[in-house]
Amino acid sequence: MYTKKERLFGLIVNKMQITKISNLKEIYPKKIAKNWELYLLVALPVLYIFIFKYIPMYGIQIAFKEFNSTKGIVDSTWVGMKYFIEFINSYNFWNIFLNTLGISLYKLLVGTPLPIFLALSLNYCYKSFYKKIVQMVTYAPHFISTVVICGMILQFLSPRYGMVNNLIKLFGGESINFMAIPELFKSVYVLSDVWQQAGWGSIIFLAALSSINFEQHEAAIVDGASILQRIRYVDIPGIMPIIVIMFILNIGRIMEVGFEKVLLLQNPLNLSVSEVIQTYIYRVGISAALPNFSYSTAVGLFTAIINFALLFTFNRIAKGLGETSLW
């Protein structure tokens, strides 16, 4: 049995909760009406994600069916893991898988530290004029279309009139057909991608650097720390949570090299190293004489499962090593 004081306390708490709920019911509609522009701004990306990301998940089931367009998704024959096994047992599975993984790891290795280095350099650039020029030059490639970027790469590396080969010949070398040498494809792809994305990727690290309390830098200066020591002992630890989160997100996309750029840079001479899972899905599922939508969906789902497993694993590792993680 509860005492009189305990019953009285329970009644007061219940009354407070009811009052709080009723106040929320009155406050939230007023807030929404007052700030409807902000809610509309948020509603658009939410609607986009729901329409183009969540609704299409209904079609994932065709990876386990013999999809027939006349029967539809629901009435198509169930075949289970047939297409997953077919893909894994295909003669070019390991070639495609290793090409995708190799380009992704190369990109991760080269592309991860450069935005951090650029952000640190801009953070210690005290002349705003030069800082703005560098930011404009490094950010601009991000906004150039992938088709235009690939056209520029092919023009620069052209063996006959390309700027790179003209410089090589100027110093007494011989012209190189970069796009015809399979061993050079990964470097061309990754380095051009880093050039295009490094400036844009540095923005988030610049924002993280600006949130570091300047009193830490003042204390380091008083102790006689150099710029490199301030970077090592103040800046890097300050942005380490952001670095870890960005690294985990990049790991979660490791099997998604991209589609447009690889396809535009491909040719019969470098196909052995440039054929990745995304272009393979395009060739088998869309551009083939007899498109196999079930097979291409199964291949896409296969890569999504690997990405999710890597994301989950590295998030657990990061959480175990420190306090920074996605969840």
The percentage of residues in the chain with a pLDDT greater than 70, rounded to a whole number, is 90
* pLDDT of residue 25 exceeding 60: no
pLDDT, tens digit, for every residue of 296-316?
889 989 998 999 999 888 888
Instruction: Indicate the average pLDDT of the chain.
Output: 84
> Is it the case that residue 155 has pLDDT exceeding 60?
yes
CATH number of 82-321: 1.10.3720.10
Over pLDDT 90: what percentage of the chain? 14
Residues 6 or more apart in contact with residue 97 via CB below 8 angstroms = 277
pLDDT bracket for residue 168 (50, 70, 90): confident
pLDDT in tens, 99-127: 999 999 999 999 889 999 999 988 888 88
Least confident of 3-12, 42-51, 211-220: 3-12
Whether residue 286 has pLDDT greater than 80: no
- Statement: residue 8 has pLDDT above 70: no
pLDDT in tens, 179-230: 888 889 999 999 999 999 888 889 899 988 888 888 888 888 888 888 888 8
Note the pLDDT of residue 34. 76
pLDDT digits (tens, 9 = 90+) for 231-240: 888 889 888 8
- This prediction has a pTM of 0.80
